[in-house]
Structures are given as structure tokens and as C-alpha cells.
Structure 1
Amino acid sequence: METRGLVVHGEAEPFSTALRSLVNNRLYSDVRFVVGQERQEVFAHRCLLACRCNFFQRLLGPEPGPGVPSPVVLSTVPAEAFLAVLEFLYTNSVKLHRHSVLEVLTAAVEYGLEELREICLEFVVKVLDVELVCEALQVAVTFGLGPLQERCIAFIEAHSQEAFRTRGFLELSASALLPLLRSDKLCVDEADLILAARSWARVGAAVLERPVAEVAAPIVRELRLALLAPAELSALEEQNRREPLIPVEQIVEAWKCHAMRRRDVARGASCRRRRGTLPREHHRFLDLPFK
């Protein structure tokens, strides 16, 4: 009578170390990548990549052709991030760094590596800080990573002024900036938020070679002009004549809130203060409570 066999395991560490030595090792490699803008050569083993990742299985095909195979060009992924992906595929572990984890996360999402994606997400949350948070928010919005987006927004709400001074903030897409501007919990005054939005629009206008007002159009409606004092609103109106940013009708609506001084007129998000809104004399006429 045949007995059932028993699976026994040797030590994992020597096995992992041996496989790690094959990462980007020309020895016995049968596929060559040219990676990133720097066009770095990276060597790998197609059977291992294909059995670990459906993306590479489809990319590489069932077998190499005759002769010396042409390199596989992957120009959008940085070499450091690609090598981290290979390390994970070879060893099921990876060494992550704060400066490159978002690039590894992006590659994990694009290659369909769910376990690596979750590892990267956990690491991002651990190292999240003012300099990283806007870049992380952009990745979260781009790839629909809801929990990471919520975590980033909560962090920015608590550290608004510092986050809005980073390069990552200036490089946000309009779709990533919108949920921030809709938040009642930002710890920033509206005057400072308008300045930040103008800086963001100027950068986008320079990059896209489009007018500032056109770049700002998707987000500018979320600015709560009625929170400004009359003198501030007058100054904003004058600046807006020199450098258009905000539609004239939006400024008119803010003036209407000042003129009417009635709560039934000053209702809605445009008159609701944020957590960081500084008090002004006219606020007693507005719908002040924030969520």
C-alpha cells in the first residue's frame, strides 16, 4: 500500500541568498532588458520571471528566438525600481528605500504584483512625511489606491502649510488636488490656500504652456473666497485683473455674501470655514461650522 509523502522544507535563507545572487547576473541569463531613461542593461532569467509574473509571461513569450535575443526595452521604469521588482520575483523579499518606494509601487501595480504592491503600501505608510506625502497622493489617485489616498489626505490635513510648500504639491494633477481643496479639515487659512493654488497653477502653466486661468479652471471653484475679509477680497480682485486666476463671477458671489450679511445667503461649502481658517469680523454672518 502506497503511503502519502510528506513535504519537508530546508532552510529558506540559503535558498533566498542563492537566488538573490542571480539578480542582474549575466551568468546563465537568457533575457536582457534596457531599463529607464538611463538605458541601463539588466540581465534576468525568463523562466523565473514567467512563472512568477503574468506580465513577464506575456511580454517574453514561450521561448527565445534563435541567435542573440534583442533587448527588451522598458523605458518608463527607473533601473533602481526595476531591480527591486526582480529582487522580489527571485527571492519573495525586497529591500525598500524611502526615495524610491513610490517607483517600486508604481511598477508593482503596472506588473500586477499584488503582494509587492501591498508590501510597498505598508512601507509608504510607515515612512510618510511632509516631503513624500504629495507624491504618494499623486500615485494613489493615479492608480485608484483608495486607502493610501485617504491616509495621504489625512496627513496633509494635519500638516497643510508644510505640505503646500513642497515640490510634490506643485506637481499634483488637478484630480489629486481637488479632494484636498474640498476638505474642511485643512489646517490653513484661505488666504494662504489661494496663494498656494496660484503657485500650483503657475507651475502647471509653465509646464503645459497654457494660461494660468486655464490650468486653474478645474480646481479654482473649491476656493472659499467669502472667507476673506473685504480688504483681502479687494486685493485679490486687483491681483486677478493683473494675472487672471479666478472667474469674475466667483468673486462677485463672494462680494454678494459680504453685502447680504445673511446666513440664508451665505450657505454652502463656499462659505464654510476650514479647520485652519483665521477668524474675521464678518464670519459671524456666515455658515461657519466645519465638519
Structure 2
Amino acid sequence: MAEDQELTQPHKAPLEPSLQQRSSNTYRSAEHSQALLSGLVSLRDSSILFDVVLVVEEKPIEAHRILLAASCDYFRGMFAGGLREMEQDEVRIHGISYNAMCKILNFIYTSELELSVNNVQETLAAACQLQIPEVIKFCCDFLMSWVDEENILDVYRLADHYDLRHLSDQLDSYILKNFVAFSKTQMYRQLPFQKVYSLLSSNRLEVNYENEVYEGALLYHYSPEQLETDQISLMEPPKLLETVRFPLMEPQILQRLHDKLSPCPLKEKVADALMYHKNECLQPMLQSSQTQLRSEFQCVVGFGGMHSTPSIVLSDQAKYLNPLLGEWRHFTAPLAPRMSNQGIAVLNNFVYLIGGDNNVRGFRAESRCWRYLKRRLKSLNVIAYHMFKNIIAILHNGCRDRRG
């Protein structure tokens, strides 16, 4: 009998190592979370398994305690943090409107939130009190989609009241992007002074020319009509003019401003900016916060070189890779002479090109240099081309010795 029993038991052969490695796996359902929410909505719609009543503005709202506790820190602390509400069947919620609470609960059950101009503010207040980051973000996104120069101050106040740093940064970005038009409005002059000072100091301020920053600084104190008719006093310049980077202004505009100013601190600052333009050889050593371009972009720049077909054809072009468009763009002015294999160095955002191969009668060093002195480029960190005279002399002497 013992032998018969032994024969009837199935034989357990050891798994091969490769099969042992595949003996377990973890599967994850992409539909489970949505199915779970749908099931909870069905329970709510059928009034099944409700175990708590929220009383908001004296109106009852039935809900599932476990779902509320899982949804946000506010209810988690209330129902799972040892507070007396754990034992209460009815809980009063203060500081939140009934309509906003209904919106929040609907989001908790469905992950959907319907917002309008009429309910966004009370929904935002409720989301901040209940500590629901997703709803806060949706409210901020909705507000930004409606923001304009007429209501931007109200939205700033909301951001400040609820300490919404992200929303405040988005409003700053709106002004930085639309500064020239916004600076001519009444709302601009109602912004807090420190806010305007910070915006005018930003490298993200989008202007075509630095003189637009100069005008914007004055428009905080004067109307466009006063500025146009020159009804302003600059003997004691407004503090906002500290944010203007005068060396970035065009020399002609600086000269006109200098000529009409009476002796004052501002005239001295304008004179220094003019000297910056007149001393191009010294510009790399005169760099400061006043000469920094209003840009946070970096890009790749290419100078000259050989065309692939035929290889003997040289290029005098300079191109930069536009970081926004992701494509190569030409500089607006041509460079000369044509050459390849130049020596290139970057110092203080100035590019220096030395010599190169002119590909004439074999490989020969080129004694000339790229004499395109300076080209300011919006949205680029590489901002100028210049060659010092002593570098030119050294290069020229080196090439002369090589030819000799």
C-alpha cells in the first residue's frame, strides 16, 4: 500500500533557473483607478454606504469618510488624526461656501472640476483651506486664462492673500511679456513700487530696445502725454531709473538725452554709457550688471568654415542656433574674410576670432581678422565680436614670419 501511495503522488521536478527567474511578475491595471472612481460615484448616486454628513452653511452633504480622508490632508487629519470628528456622524465645515464644497466633493469623486468666472474665487478659497493642490492649480490656470490689464491687480491680491507664489510668478511673466503695452495703462501705476522695480530689473523683461525700459520707468510716475510733451523733471531722477541699463541703449538716443539734461547724477550716468560705446576695445573689461543683456538664453554660434561640396568653397557666414525655434539663423550682417579653422575664444560673452585658413594655394594661415566689431543679439548670450589691436599685431607678425 505504501508503494502504491508513493506511485500515485505527482512528481515535483525542480524548476529550471530560467523559469525560476520568471516565476513571479507584477501587473498593473491602467483602468483600475478610473473604475474605482466610477464605482464610488455609483455609490454616491445611489446613497449607499454614506457614513458622514458635512454641514456647510447649514446644508447637509452626505459623503464617504474613507474617501474624504484619502483625498486631502484636511480630511485625513479630521477623520484619521485622532480628532473628535472621527466619532461624529455629522461634521460642520466653516469658512467654505456650500457651492464650493459641492464643487470640491464632485472633484474628489470624479477628478473633474467645472470652473467659471462666478465660482473660481470661492472654489480657490475652499481648495486652499482643504489643502487640495490639484484644485488650486486648476483655479490658478483658469484665472491666468482670463487675466488682462483690467483685472490683473485683483488676481495679484488673490495670489498674495492665499500665498500662491506660483500664481504670482505667472502674473509677473504676463507683465514681462507684455511690458511695453502694459506700462502705458493706469493699472501699471497702481502696482506696488517694489513689484515694478523687480520687474524692470529682470533679465526676462521682453523689450525690443533698452530705451523702452527707460520710458517704462518714467511712465510709472508720469502719464504718456507728459512723457510725450517732455513735461518731466530729471534733476532728481526717479529711483526706477536705477533699473535701466543705459549702456544697452543706442548711442544716438543716449547722446540726445545727454544733450538735453542739465548737470545732474543722471547726466553723469548717461555720459558713462556713451563712453562705453566709444571704447569698444575696453568693453570686455567694463562688463557689469548694467551691460548684461536682458536674456536668459544660451545658444551655439558657428563661424565660417568649408562647404561640404565642393570642399574648397569657404564660407564667410556666421550662424546661431535659435533656442526657441530650434533652427539655425544667420546674423544680419556679413562677416569677412572667408576662412575656416579659425581660433575662437569666448571671454565675458565676447567672441574673439583669430586667423584661420584661407585655403588658397594649399593651407596657409590668414593674417587678416574678422573685423566685424560688435553686434548685439536679442535673446543670445554671445553678444559681440571684437579683436584687440595687439592680438592683430601678434597674429600679423606670426604670419609674416611663417611666410618668410
TM-score by length of 1: 0.51
How far off is 1:271 after superposition? Answer: 4.8
- Give the alignment partner of residue 64 of structure 1, picking from 87, 108, 119: 87
> Any gaps of 5 or more consecutive residues in structure 2?
1-22, 206-211, 246-255, 274-289, 295-404
RMSD over aligned CA atoms reads 5.0
Which digits, 9 at most, give the CA deviation of each residue in 1:196-241, with x for residues without a partner?
A: 9xxxxxxxxxxxxxxxxxxxxxxxxxxxxxx9999545xxxxxxxx
> Residues of 2 paired with 1:80 and 1:6: CA distance?
40
One-letter amino acid matched to 1:160:
F
- Aligned residue runs from structure 1 range 153-164, under 5 A: 153-157=172-176, 158=178, 159-160=181-182, 164=186
- Aligned residue runs from structure 1 range 50-89, under 5 A: 50-60=69-79, 61=83, 63-65=86-88, 69=90, 72-75=92-95, 77-89=96-108
1:44 matched to which residue of 2?
Answer: 62
Tell me, yes or no, if the aligned pair for 1:32 and 1:72 is still in contact at 8 Å.
Answer: yes
One-letter amino acid matched to 1:30:
V
Q: 1:286 to 1:151 in 2, by over 3 A?
A: farther
**Aligned residues, how many?**
215
2:156 equivalent to 1:137: yes
> Residues of 1 paired with 2:268 and 2:228: CA distance?
11
2:157 equivalent to 1:178: no
Tell me, yes or no, if the aligned pair for 1:81 and 1:107 is still in contact at 8 Å.
Answer: yes
Q: 1:148 to 1:73 in 2, by over 3 A?
A: closer
Q: 1:93 to 1:256 in 2, by over 3 A?
A: closer
One-letter amino acid matched to 1:282:
L
What stretches of structure 1 move > 6 A for 4+ residues in a row?
A: 2-7, 227-230
How far off is 1:55 after superposition? Answer: 0.4
How far off is 1:30 after superposition? Answer: 2.6
One-letter amino acid matched to 2:261:
H
TM-score by length of 2: 0.39
> Residues of 2 paired with 1:179 and 1:47: CA distance?
44
> Any gaps of 5 or more consecutive residues in structure 1?
197-226, 234-253, 258-265
Tell me, yes or no, if the aligned pair for 1:31 and 1:44 is still in contact at 8 Å.
Answer: yes
Tell me, yes or no, if the aligned pair for 2:78 and 2:86 is still in contact at 8 Å.
Answer: no
Which digits, 9 at most, give the CA deviation of each residue in 1:223-266, with x for residues without a partner?
A: xxxx9999545xxxxxxxxxxxxxxxxxxxx6445xxxxxxxx9
| Identity across matched positions, percent | 16
Structure that is richer in strand per residue: 2
1:193 matched to which residue of 2?
Answer: 220
> Residues of 2 paired with 1:124 and 1:17: CA distance?
32
How far off is 1:144 after superposition? Answer: 4.5
> Residues of 2 paired with 1:21 and 1:181: CA distance?
55
